[in-house]
Structures are given as C-alpha cells and as structure tokens.
C-alpha cells in the first residue's frame, strides 16, 4: 500500500489520487531534455571500471592462439629459452596468474531464476464490486460521500469481480486483529512456498538465503522467522525481513538476494514478496486514504534463485540487470506517500499532491540509467546525435525518444492502478499487447503490491509467449519515493509453472476493461 497505488477516480480529489502519472502536462520527451550527456558518462564509467579486464582478456587470447599455432620444434625452442631466462619465466607467470585472478575475481556470477509461484486465494474470499460496496455500507464507518467516492474509484479502477480481500474483512463488523493478520500472512506465504517447493523439488534445508518483503505488517518474530520456523530451515540460513519499502520492494528483495548470491557460493535464495491488508484497512472518511481499500487485494509470490551452474539447464531466466532509483533525499518525495492518522485518529496512507511529479522524476532517472545497459547501440547513437544537435545547433529540436521495444520483448509494469499502466503505455510508446499482462493482472487479482510483477510474468507464460532469448522488463513504483527495474532473459522456451494462478482462467483473457 504505497505510491504504486493509482486508479481512476473523480476529479474533485487531490491530484495525487488520480494515480502515478508521468508529470502534469508533461511526457517523456520533456524529461529527456534534462538527460544531457548522462549516456556518455555512464558508458565512460563502465569502460574505466572494467578497463583492466578488457585489456587483459585480448592479451590472454592472443597468447593462447599463438601457443596453439606453434609446432613441436617451436615449443622446444621456447622451453630452452625459458630455462635459461628465469626473469622471463617469472614475469610471464606472474602476468598470467595476475590476469587470471583479476578475471575470476571481477566477473559476476550468473543468478538464475529456477521457478516462482504466485498465491491464489480460495474463491470464498472473492470480493465483487456489489458485495464490496454493500459491505462497506453495512460497516457504518463511511459517510455517503466516502461511499460514493469508493464506488467511482471501483468503476474506473480496472479491477474485475474476481479479486480477493482477506477473511477478516468478510465479517460484519470486520475483525482486523493481530491474529487475523498473522493468519493472512501465513496463508499467502506458506501457500506460495508450498507450491514452489513442490514444483522445483528443492528441499527447505537446501535454502541458504531467505529475503521476505512486506511493507505494512512487521510482527515480532518477523515474517522471515515465521518461514524459518514453519519449514525448519537450517540454522545458518541468511534471513532478511524488509519492511516499509512499498510496492517496489519485490525488486529490492531480488537485488539483495543477487548480491548475497555473489558472496555465498553454490546455494539457493528464496524471495517472498507480499503485502498484508488485514490490519491496514482504512476505516475513515479522508478520501486520499480510501483509495488503497479499493485497489489493494490479497496476493503474494515466492521466487527461487540459484547461483549453481548446474541449475542453468532447468532454470527459466537469468537475471541481467537491476536498476534502483530512490528519491528519498528530497523532502517532498519522502512525504508524498505517508502513513499517518487522520483527524479522527484513524490510520491510513496519505497521498500528496506532488505524487505525480515525483513519480515522473523517479521514472526518468531510472530509465536514463537503464537505457545504456539495454538499448542497442543504434538507439544510443541516435539519442546522442539528437542531443548534440539540440545542445549546439538547434534548441527547438525535440530529443530522440529511445525505443525500449527494441530492448525488451515483454513488459511487466506494476499493476498499481489503471492510471499507472495508461501513462507508461503512452510515454514509453508501447503497444496494447505490451501492457496486456499488467492490465489483466490488475483485472483478475487487483493491486497485489510488490508481487504484482510476478502475476504478470505468469500471465505471459500462460499465454505461451515466452521464448528463449526474450528479455523481460519488470518495473515497479513504491513509497520513499522509489522506482526500481529488473531485467530477465529467458534461458529456454518457458512453459507455465504447475498450479499457475492463471491455470483455469487464462482462456478467458484478455478481457475488455471498461474505462
């Protein structure tokens, strides 16, 4: 429940409640005017940081080639020469050892996504629009203005009638207790993990790293400890619990697991991404705090990562890049999504009127950093050429907008709300098929916070669209304010996992979403 929340809503609310838009009256072309020479700077930094490795590899290749072309007599003469030239032997050996060591120590170990599982709640927890509104009215917590406001949000949100709310919210009056919140967390996390372990045939004792992220529910013992206790994970497991990091925390959790897999060899890492609704339902009448009630729904995902070379043959994806953008040093960005109490003392998440501009700035920074890593050189040259023309010859020339469709085959945009998806489709110049997974995940499961990008990836797989070599861009927004991206490459033609959340309904999609 954070800045990722967005959706259609009436015009009399604060600007922030309309959703995460790129900027009021501005689009990606305006953003790129401030990029200047960042592409060049990033390329320069990358070149310098890897200069030694880039120089040593060609030298070593030349030495190997030359040695392979020598006949027996040449090798004999070389050996005789080296026997009487100890200095040459020492220098050559030192150079070879040093070069090999630098290469081995600086290379990044590949991180593989073996498989993942998305939790699907039982049908008894479904919350159709009519039931949702009737239940809200019967609780007696909302005035008529708030009820009408929620009705309009639901109509324009992009959600369907099959999304789920936790069991505590189905009672009259609702029962948002600590025990109920624990039960929701257990059902989601254990449901996803049970399916993941069954699908991958990995034993819980084999897990060396565990990262759990849940923004608004952080009990003691922690959620990660609950998993350790449930599955009897080994005593030296490296466990982490990320709280308060919003809808983009799923990418942060993957990034943390990736870094740990660079240090700890030959092991598995499990990432569990979820959100807890039970104790975070807002029972007040402040409109900017009512939106999460209408958009957030039950969901979670468990992801199995590996640095074992043997897992390459069975893994689905390889992690290519993670790019994280954090605007928290700016006070407005820090306060734009803020959990607080309203005038009546009821707790909720308040959305600032600056949310749109801040989200746009975070997105701009993120894709500016990501671009040089993923875009083909032709796109980078075109962008650079337009930048030079604009800077030195004609300031009225519009900057070149890189075509990210040339870098990615699939897009998993956080299903924070319809407005989020609409704006990214428009400003990244995507086709409807590129945002289909995001729209359908929002329609079927609602905003499941940090796990939404995995429901979207599962949709693409269920449709049979993932082929070997395809690249996927997962992008998520979150409080703080953050914009994070993860890039994956398919190692093989990917089939849907067993017990996919789309297993019995994929043939019904895509559906027409009423605007």
Residues 347-370 have pLDDT tens digits of 998 878 777 778 778 988 898 889
Is 447 considered catalytic here?
yes
Is 247 considered catalytic here?
yes
DSSP 396: T
pLDDT at 389: 82
pLDDT at 392: 78
pLDDT, one tens digit per residue, over 192-201 is: 999 999 999 9
* Choice among 23, 213, 241, 247 that is catalytic: 247
Query: Is residue 96 very low, low, confident or very high in pLDDT (cuts 50, 70, 90)?
Result: confident
Is 443 considered catalytic here?
yes
Please determine, for residue 73, whether its predicted confidence score (pLDDT) is greater than 70. Answer: no
Query: Is residue 497 very low, low, confident or very high in pLDDT (cuts 50, 70, 90)?
Result: confident
Please determine, for residue 160, whether its predicted confidence score (pLDDT) is greater than 60. Answer: yes
* Choice among 326, 336, 483, 484 that is catalytic: 326
Above pLDDT 70, what percent of the chain? 80
* Choice among 410, 412, 434, 484 that is catalytic: 410
Question: Cα-Cα-Cα-Cα dihedral of 300, 513, 504, 495, to 10°?
Answer: -70
* Choice among 366, 447, 483, 484 that is catalytic: 447
Do 472 and 318 meet the contact criterion of CB atoms below 8 Å apart?
Answer: no
pLDDT at 346: 94
Is 229 considered catalytic here?
no
Do 397 and 386 meet the contact criterion of CB atoms below 8 Å apart?
Answer: yes
> CA geometry: angle at 22 spanning 18 and 26, to 5°?
110
* Choice among 366, 443, 483, 484 that is catalytic: 443
Which has more pLDDT, 108 or 156? 156
> CA geometry: angle at 13 spanning 10 and 19, to 5°?
75
Query: What's the mean pLDDT in 208-231?
Result: 97
Do 343 and 353 meet the contact criterion of CB atoms below 8 Å apart?
Answer: no
pLDDT at 382: 82
Query: Is residue 304 very low, low, confident or very high in pLDDT (cuts 50, 70, 90)?
Result: very high
Query: What's the mean pLDDT in 418-440?
Result: 92
Distance CA(119)–CA(14), nearest Å, equals 34
Q: How far apart are the first and last CA of the chain?
A: 23
* Choice among 23, 213, 294, 414 that is catalytic: 414
Q: Where are the beta strands (DSSP E) in 275-311?
A: 300-306
pLDDT, one tens digit per residue, over 247-293 is: 999 999 999 999 999 999 999 999 999 999 999 999 999 998 999 99
What residues are paired with 304 via a beta bridge? 115, 270
pLDDT at 84: 57
Which has more pLDDT, 5 or 144? 144
Helix/strand/coil for 116: strand
Query: Is residue 439 very low, low, confident or very high in pLDDT (cuts 50, 70, 90)?
Result: very high
Helix or strand (DSSP H, E) at 423? helix 418-427
- CATH 3.40.47.10 at 15-34+110-508, yes or no: yes
Which has more pLDDT, 117 or 480? 117
Distance CA(421)–CA(412), nearest Å, equals 10
Please determine, for residue 474, whether its predicted confidence score (pLDDT) is greater than 60. Answer: yes
CB atoms within 10 A of CB 173: 10
Task: Give the pTM.
Answer: 0.83
Distance CA(395)–CA(392), nearest Å, equals 8
pLDDT, one tens digit per residue, over 451-460 is: 999 999 999 9
Query: What's the mean pLDDT in 18-36?
Result: 43
Do 440 and 511 meet the contact criterion of CB atoms below 8 Å apart?
Answer: yes
């Amino acid at each position: 429940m954070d800045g990722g929340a967005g959706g259609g809503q009436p015009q009399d609310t604060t600007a922030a409640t309309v959703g995460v838009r790129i900027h009021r009256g501005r689009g990606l072309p305006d953003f790129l005017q401030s990029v200047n020479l960042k592409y060049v700077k990033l390329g320069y930094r990358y070149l310098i940081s890897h200069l030694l490795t880039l120089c040593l590899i060609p030298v070593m290749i030349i030495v190997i080639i030359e040695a392979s072309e020598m006949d027996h007599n040449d090798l004999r003469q070389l050996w005789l020469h080296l026997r009487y030239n100890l200095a040459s032997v020492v220098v050559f050996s030192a150079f070879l050892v040093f070069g090999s060591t630098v290469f081995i120590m600086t290379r990044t170990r590949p991180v593989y996504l073996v498989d993942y599982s998305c939790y699907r709640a039982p049908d008894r927890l479904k919350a159709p629009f009519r039931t949702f509104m009737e239940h809200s009215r019967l609780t007696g917590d909302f005035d008529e203005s708030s009820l009408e406001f929620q009705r309009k949000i639901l109509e324009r949100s992009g959600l369907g009638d099959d999304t789920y709310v936790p069991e505590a919210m189905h009672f009259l009056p609702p029962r948002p207790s600590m025990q109920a919140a624990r039960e929701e967390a257990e059902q989601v996390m254990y449901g996803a993990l049970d399916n993941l372990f069954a699908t991958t045939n990995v034993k819980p004792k084999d897990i060396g790293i565990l990262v759990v992220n849940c923004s608004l529910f952080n009990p003691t013992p922690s959620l990660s400890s609950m998993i350790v206790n449930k599955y009897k994970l080994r005593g030296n497991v490296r466990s982490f619990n990320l709280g308060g990091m919003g809808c983009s925390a799923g990418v942060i959790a993957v990034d943390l697991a990736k870094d740990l897999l660079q240090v700890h060899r030959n092991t598995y890492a499990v990432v569990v991404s979820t959100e807890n609704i039970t104790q975070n339902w807002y029972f007040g009448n402040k409109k900017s705090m009512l939106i999460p009630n209408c958009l957030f729904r039950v969901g979670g995902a468990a992801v199995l990562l590996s640095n074992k070379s043997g897992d390459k043959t069975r893994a689905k994806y390889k992690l290519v890049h993670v790019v994280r953008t954090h605007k928290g040093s700016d006070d407005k960005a820090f306060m734009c999504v803020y959990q607080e109490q309203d005038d009546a003392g009821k707790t909720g998440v308040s959305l600032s009127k600056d949310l749109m501009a801040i989200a746009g700035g975070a997105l701009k920074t993120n894709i500016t950093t990501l671009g040089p890593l993923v875009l083909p050189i032709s796109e980078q040259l075109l962008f650079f050429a337009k930048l030079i023309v604009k800077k030195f010859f004609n300031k009225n020339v519009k900057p070149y907008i890189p075509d990210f469709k040339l870098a990615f085959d699939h897009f998993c945009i956080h299903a924070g709300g319809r407005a989020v998806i609409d704006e990214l489709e428009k400003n990244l110049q995507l086709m409807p098929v590129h945002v289909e997974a995001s729209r359908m995940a929002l329609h079927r499961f609602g905003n499941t916070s940090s796990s939404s990008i995995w429901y979207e990836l599962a949709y693409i797989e269920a449709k049979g669209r993932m082929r070997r070599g395809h690249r996927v861009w997962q992008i998520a927004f979150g409080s703080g304010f953050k914009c994070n991206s993860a890039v994956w490459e398919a190692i093989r033609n990917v089939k849907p996992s067993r017990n996919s959340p789309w297993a019995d309904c994929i043939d019904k999609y895509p559906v027409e979403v009423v605007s």
